[in-house]
């Protein structure tokens, strides 16, 4: 019985230490973080697009957290500065990503600000990025004979247009592009100073 009490006590102490180090201390460090001046809350279209980003699994292949110059080649790739905690002030849940099969999207709105490029890239990535392994998302588009007045027609490069038809972006595709274009973190980073209040 004595060994079980020691084992249980040791497990509880280990759990308490792990919780302190992995939950309590980071919470205390980040409790006072405020949104940077250049970071704007998401619009309703961007929030709907963010839901599409999650629903379609974009987060599984794209990170949203460029590393510091000393930790990797992200800056030389043109992905922008390293991210800081304040950059994610309006994100819930955070979509940092776990791996990079595709490029980091932290600043895709600044690197590729063309709405037409983004919408066409969702329909057929290889029309815009040669050799891309990104899947296309044809279910976010409609193929029509002619456009209605409010349709957003996708202008595709020659050879990628369906013969005699037009491609029209659904509201979901348009919202997803609005979210991607909102990923522009080119404002100055706020780097917390240790011990500063």
pTM of structure: 0.84
Stronger pLDDT, 62 or 193, i.e. the higher one: 62
pLDDT for residue 193: 52
- Which pairing describes strands 152-153 and 141-144: parallel, antiparallel, or unpaired? unpaired
pLDDT for residue 123: 96
Do residues 165 and 145 lie in contact, with contact meaning Cβ atoms separated by under 8 Å? Answer: yes
pLDDT mean over 71-78 = 82
pLDDT for residue 191: 61
pLDDT for residue 192: 55
Q: Nearest CA to 135 among 120, 124, 146, 151? A: 124
Stronger pLDDT, 2 or 130, i.e. the higher one: 130
Distance of CA 129 to CAs 87, 95, 176, Å? 28, 24, 19
Question: For residue 194, is pLDDT > 60?
Answer: no
pLDDT mean over 87-98 = 89
pLDDT for residue 99: 81
pLDDT digits (tens, 9 = 90+) for 115-125: 999 999 999 99
C-alpha–C-alpha distance, residues 156 and 57, integer Å: 24
**Domains of the chain (ranges, CATH numbers):** 44-182 (1.10.760.10)
SS3 content of the chain, % helix, strand, coil (to 5): 40, 5, 55
pLDDT mean over 187-196 = 64
Do residues 177 and 115 lie in contact, with contact meaning Cβ atoms separated by under 8 Å? Answer: yes
Question: For residue 152, is pLDDT > 90?
Answer: yes
pLDDT mean across residues, the chain: 90
């Amino acid at each position: 019985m004595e060994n079980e009490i020691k084992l249980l006590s040791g497990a509880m102490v280990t759990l308490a230490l792990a919780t302190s180090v992995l939950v309590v201390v980071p919470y205390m460090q980040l409790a006072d973080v405020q949104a940077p001046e250049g970071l704007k809350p998401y619009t309703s279209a961007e929030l709907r697009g963010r839901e599409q980003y999650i629903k379609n699994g974009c987060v599984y292949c794209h990170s949203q957290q460029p590393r510091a110059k000393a930790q990797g080649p992200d800056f030389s790739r043109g992905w922008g500065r390293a991210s800081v905690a304040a950059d994610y002030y309006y994100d819930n849940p955070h979509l940092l990503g776990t791996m990079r099969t595709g490029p980091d999207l932290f600043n895709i709105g600044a690197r590729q600000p063309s709405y037409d490029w983004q919408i066409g890239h969702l329909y057929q990535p290889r029309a815009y990025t040669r050799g891309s392994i990104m899947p296309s998302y044809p279910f976010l588009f409609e193929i029509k004979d002619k456009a209605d007045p409010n349709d957003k027609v996708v202008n595709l490069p020659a050879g990628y247009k369906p013969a005699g038809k037009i491609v029209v972006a659904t509201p979901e595709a348009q919202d997803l592009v609005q979210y991607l274009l909102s990923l522009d973190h080119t404002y100055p980073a706020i780097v917390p100073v240790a011990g500063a209040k």
